[in-house]
Amino acid sequence: MSVADLAAAPADDTNPLLLPWPAPYGLPPFASLRPEHFEPALRAGMRRHRAELAWLAQQDEAPSFDNTVAAFDRSGQLLDRVASVFYNLTSSATSPALQAVQRTMAAPMAAHSSAVYMDAGLFARVDTVHARRHELGLAPEALRLTERVHLDFVRSGARLPAEAQARYAQVMQDLAGLTTRFAQNVLHDESHWQLPLADEPALSGLPDFVRAAARQAAAERGLPGHVITLSRSLVVPFLSFSTRRDLRELAWRAWVGRGENPGEHDNREVARDILRLRNEQARLHGHACYADFALADTMAGTRAAVQGLLGEVWPRALAAVERERQALLALAPAGAEAALEPWDWRFHAERLRRERFAIDDAEVKPYFPLDRMVQAAFDCAGRLFGLQFRPRDDLPVYHPDVKAFEVRNAQGAVIGIFLQDNFARPGKRSGAWMSALRWQTRNVEAGAPASLPVILNNNNFARGEAAAAGQGGAPTLLSLDDARTLFHEFGHGLHGLLSDVTYRRLSGTQVLRDFVELPSQIFEHWITQPEVLQRHARHWQTGEPIPADLVARLQRAQRFNQGYETVRYTASAMADMAVHSLTDAEPPADLCRFEADLLQAAGLPAAVGQNHRLVHFQHLFAGSSYAAGYYVYLWAEVLDADGFDAFTEAGSAFDPEVAQRLLRHIYASGNSVAPAAAYAAFRGRAPTVQPLLKKRGLLAEEAA
């Protein structure tokens, strides 16, 4: 029996996950899926994957790139398709039943991964091809795949002694259970807390769009009146506009206290357990701390390189935030509020922004209805890369909020499917992210068509009343920051959709962690281009384009409050690096105290705070992708600020030659080329940090 035979073997089951998916483009049969389908389907996928790999490892032919490395890249398709659906649902539309399956399957899925990458026979074949890779006349992409797959094995424990391998596998299973628990605890705190605004005094200061979002949040929860939740798209406007300082404090304390509530959902010990196991994981690989292990496979490479970047930005950001603090204090009324607590900053900053730039979100947001901003993103992708997004209401989706689009290139050929899920709701984790139900690849069995990508964007915007079926009122209106988030995630989506590589392992966003944010962050630049705003930012009631004067004011205000935003981000990145740089096997007994002492010593102003505290820092503890890696947004911002300057230098944000270089070397190349080489091919040189400092207003002469 061949690998192809194994992959084609019919599933002896009526489980819809294991039967053929007849929907267009092989989309999942979402309407037929139930929580009880996933455990048997995942276990069946693991069994088939192991059978495929056992055949691969035991074949008689000598190891070659085609029969070993390329075959490994093709393996596990059933498991991948089931797992991709499962993990998307547990993030975007979960339930207690799905969460129970997630807890049950966390350890077995981790054990399966360890069994694959610690398979001695399989690794021996991969190792043989890797040792001879420069003698085999491999194409550049095949050489890159060989090196990446080999490194995947090594970093998963393939070279550890047998006893260490057994312990390593147990560590990974334990970590899988703990990171699942961490994420579910945060979701519990976010979904269960709510602040009812029972009367007009409680609504004091809130503009119509915040009131409408709070009214809709209450309706979704079956409550009367208005409710503030811990969705960022609702709590941040509340902190910015509410004149009720006491209620702002309640909301702020609940927001920053996620994961720190005593009881079943307390993350303090969960995070300590994760850190303890990560330290052991690193030491099994011969590293002094987890940060050293994690950074070994990044562009940065070392803690020193990361600290160098953070050290370049931190003092400049502190100086900028002090200038901002003084400006806010001058505006604050005498008395209690003059102390400027963390729940005051956004409120006074919004007042200062109105005074300094004559900008008010109540004036801005009517020009940023969600549907128009989606079309703006599509239009920019069309003008840059020739893409067309065609709605497909007939395609299956997992929730009524999800919109499906067929994506075609300039020649009219379908290159992928794009699913967009924009609204916050119970059962959906916070934040914004891109994921894939299927990656682009041409490495398929003989006679099979190339695999088209199916890419998802998730956002958490506060739903406007018109977005709720059967209700009138305003549509979903975005702030400029919300629109940036939409463009950011769409940039990730384009990275998946435009991927043009041969091998699945190198496809789309599967690049080094401190390179993955470049395609998303550089795409943010287009939402603030005057010609994009003039074309797409139109008043939801009148259809009138955004006034040129308002665009000019928005441009002047771009660097406003950037000291605050930069300090908050960098503080979280510093805490991440510090806690993952600890060399002691036992983490600090009081993680919250460790974090507070660290940032106080670094000079973090008490009124500023940080983006994420460790106890709810899902980037770090709901998985390992950003552990010792939160710095990557700043690292990539060096690249995106420098990279967008290529369009500025060309004289147009849509210069076709620069756009083609961006497409070819950044969006389409996936991980088929080393990141530094890919960037240099696009830009013609290595990046410099000055455009970043200018963009954030961290040069004294550029400060707003």
Minimal CA–CA distance to 236: which of 322, 350, 370?
350
Sign of CA dihedral 137, 140, 145, 146: positive
3-class SS of residue 434: strand
Q: What is the DSSP letter of 612?
A: -
Sign of CA dihedral 367, 226, 328, 611: negative
Q: Is 340 left (phi over 0), alpha (psi -120 to 50) or beta?
A: left
Residues 6+ apart with CB under 8 A from 354: 360
Sign of CA dihedral 110, 114, 115, 117: positive
The whole-angstrom separation of Cα 445 and Cα 188 is: 43
Residues 231 and 225 sit within 8 Å (Cβ to Cβ):
no
Q: How many Cα neighbours within 13 Å face the side chain of 324? A: 30
> Residue 4 burial by CB count (10 A; 0-12/13-18/19+): exposed, middle or buried?
middle
The whole-angstrom separation of Cα 235 and Cα 225 is: 16
The whole-angstrom separation of Cα 241 and Cα 361 is: 10
Q: How many CB atoms lie within 10 A of CB 673?
A: 20
Minimal CA–CA distance to 343: which of 608, 615, 605, 610?
608
Active site residue 406: no
3-class SS of residue 342: helix
Q: What is the DSSP letter of 467?
A: G
Minimal CA–CA distance to 439: which of 47, 81, 151?
81
Kindly list the distances between the CA atom of residue 427 and the CA atoms of 42, 100, 264, 435, 607, in Å, as whole numbers in the listed order: 22, 14, 18, 17, 32
418 phi/psi in degrees, rounded to 5: -120, 125
* String of DSSP letters for 23-72: SGGG---GGG--HHHHHHHHHHHHHHHHHHHHHHHH-SSPP-IIIIIIHH
Residues 6+ apart with CB under 8 A from 519: 491, 492, 494, 495, 509, 666, 667
300 phi/psi in degrees, rounded to 5: -65, -50
Kindly list the distances between the CA atom of residue 636 and the CA atoms of 103, 231, 516, in Å, as whole numbers in the listed order: 34, 26, 8
Minimal CA–CA distance to 147: which of 393, 512, 685?
512
Identity of residue 155: R
The whole-angstrom separation of Cα 568 and Cα 521 is: 18
* String of DSSP letters for 158-225: TTS-HHHHHHHHHHHHHHHHHHHHHHHHHHHHHHH--EEE-STGGGTT--HHHHHHHHHHHHHTT-SS
SS (H, E, C) 350-405: HHHHHHHHCCCHHHHHHHCEHHHHHHHHHHHHHHHHCCEEEECCCCCCCCCCCEEE
Catalytic residue among 324, 350, 406, 489: 489
Minimal CA–CA distance to 607: which of 576, 634, 571?
571
Residues 38 and 81 sit within 8 Å (Cβ to Cβ):
no
Residues designated as active site: 489
